[in-house]
């Protein structure tokens, strides 16, 4: 009888992969993260242009960010449950094909309503892609390097914010916001080709069933981990969703400075993702606590530095550096505590994070609309960081109680 190590996926390939193919396979998986990261975050940098283009206010235009995030929340569990038996490579190709198509629909949207629907549809493949790609990357990784392999997939998301988002933002400012979505559709199409050529054939799990996958939602530790991400990560989106008007209206900088700030945001993600892979080898749970505490202080720093123009940039870098530590370690924790529901557990991390996206953008828009200005979302972010830390301590307390309860019968038996 064969066994599978905790957190590993029994339905993924175990045959050796040549080094050259492994490198190209990881690059292909990361390119999908690059496509998703560019698409998800370019909307923030072009929010004023999008608002003007579809005839709504900036806070109302911010709701299309929430629409995308809600698409991720809906799509991650649905696709994970119904796609668990499908070949992994074919599923990744299908998800990226849909991603390209819905980006083109966003570019063609003639009204706010159509754009809202298009952004929701574009969010559907997001979580499932990262979930499946993370499982494939972990399976292909050498022993002891699964954390870094998962981080490499996330690195595509991070690099997108250094290269893809600033480039797409600049393109949208120069040639119109619609061209940014055409650009991201092209990256998704390139991912389809790369995955088809270089990712090894990865058969699905014939034993997977919807009932087994849905057991994930009865897993208390998994639910608390998702809640920690949905709340604690919301602060990042409360700040970043309104980065363009914060830079121009609060900081007094020209519109041309916005891509520079989005690049700083991306550099923070790259640094944080690299650091997260190494912190995970120290302690996944302690890394989560550390990132939550750091996020609280960084949010206060953003609030204080927002009126000071270029001095805000280091704080924006730190926002995503600490946030990326949270993202990678949440992914690893879910892959560990999900039991048999590996596909759903891996995908639901991004559902949780995009619920944070929706929550942060919505709460940030509320305080702005209430007249508190574009600095106020940073204070919302600080409050969400505290709540996220609270959920993590709740999870630790539940774990201790469960462990004590499980050990009690053994202790009683030893005394009898």
Tell me if 234 sits within 8 A of 363, measured CB to CB: yes
Does the pLDDT value for residue 34 go beyond 90? yes
Tell me if 312 sits within 8 A of 306, measured CB to CB: yes
Q: Is residue 42 part of a domain?
A: yes
Q: Is residue 136 part of a domain?
A: yes
Longest pairwise C-alpha distance within the chain: 80
Q: Is residue 322 part of a domain?
A: yes
Question: What CATH number has the domain bearing residue 234?
Answer: 1.20.1250.20
Alpha-carbon distance of 152 to 273, in angstroms, equals: 8
Average pLDDT, the chain: 82
- Which residue would you say has higher pLDDT here, 409 or 356? 356
- Over residues 53-72, the pLDDT tens digits come to 888 888 788 888 888 878 88
**Domain range for 210:** 19-404
* Residue of 356, 400, 389, 381 lying closest to 289 (CA atoms): 389
Residue 208, CA distances (Å) to 1, 4, 11, 94, 200 in order = 19, 15, 9, 19, 21
Q: What is the pTM of this model?
A: 0.70
Q: Is residue 213 part of a domain?
A: yes
Most confident of 23-32, 126-135, 149-158, 213-222: 23-32
Residue 261, CA distances (Å) to 40, 57, 111, 289, 316 in order = 16, 22, 29, 27, 7
Tell me if 288 sits within 8 A of 333, measured CB to CB: yes
Q: Is residue 2 part of a domain?
A: no
pLDDT confidence tier of residue 107, bands split at 50, 70 and 90: very high
Residue 10 pLDDT:
37
Q: Is residue 5 part of a domain?
A: no
Question: Among the listed ranges 120-124, 139-143, 240-244, 269-273, which one has the minimum average pLDDT value?
Answer: 139-143
Number of domains in the chain: 1
Residue 8 pLDDT:
37
* Residue of 32, 201, 222, 34 lying closest to 129 (CA atoms): 32
Q: Is residue 71 part of a domain?
A: yes
């Amino acid at each position: 009888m064969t066994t599978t190590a905790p957190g590993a996926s029994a339905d993924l390939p175990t045959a050796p992969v040549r080094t050259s193919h492994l490198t190209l396979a990881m690059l292909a998986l990361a390119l999908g993260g690059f496509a998703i990261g560019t698409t998800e975050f370019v909307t923030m940098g072009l929010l004023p242009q999008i608002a003007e283009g579809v005839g709504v206010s900036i806070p109302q235009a911010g709701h299309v960010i929430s629409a995308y995030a809600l698409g991720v929340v809906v799509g991650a569990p649905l696709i994970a449950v119904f796609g668990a038996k499908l070949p992994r490579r074919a599923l990744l190709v299908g998800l990226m094909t849909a991603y390209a198509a819905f980006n083109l629909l966003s570019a063609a949207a003639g009204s706010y309503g159509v754009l809202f629907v298009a952004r929701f549809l574009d969010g559907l493949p997001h979580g499932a892609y990262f979930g499946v790609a993370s499982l494939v990357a972990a399976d292909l990784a050498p022993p002891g390097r699964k954390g870094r392999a998962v981080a490499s997939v996330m690195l595509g998301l991070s690099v997108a914010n250094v290269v893809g988002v600033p480039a797409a933002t600049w393109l949208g400012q120069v040639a119109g916001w619609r061209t940014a979505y055409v650009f991201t559709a092209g990256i998704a199409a390139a991912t389809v080709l790369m995955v088809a050529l270089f990712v090894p054939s990865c058969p699905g799990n014939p034993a997977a069933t919807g009932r087994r996958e849905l057991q994930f939602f009865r897993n208390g530790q998994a639910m608390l981990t998702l809640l920690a991400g949905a709340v604690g990560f919301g602060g990042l989106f409360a700040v970043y969703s309104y980065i363009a008007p914060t830079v121009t209206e609060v900081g007094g900088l020209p519109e041309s400075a916005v891509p520079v700030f989005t690049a700083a945001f991306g550099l923070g993600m790259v640094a944080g993702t690299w650091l997260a892979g190494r912190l995970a080898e120290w302690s996944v749970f302690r890394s989560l606590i550390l990132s939550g505490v750091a996020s609280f202080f960084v949010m206060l720093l953003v609030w204080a530095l927002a009126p000071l123009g270029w001095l805000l940039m280091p704080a924006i870098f730190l926002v995503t550096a600490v946030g990326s530590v949270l993202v990678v370690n949440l992914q690893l924790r879910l892959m560990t505590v999900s039991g048999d529901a590996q596909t759903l557990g891996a995908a639901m991390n991004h559902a949780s994070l995009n619920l944070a996206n929706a929550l942060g953008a919505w709460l940030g828009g509320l305080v702005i609309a209430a007249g508190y200005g574009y600095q106020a979302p940073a204070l919302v972010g600080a409050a969400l960081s505290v709540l996220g830390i609270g959920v993590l301590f709740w999870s630790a307390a539940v774990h201790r109680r469960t462990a004590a309860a499980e050990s009690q019968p053994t202790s009683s038996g030893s005394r009898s």
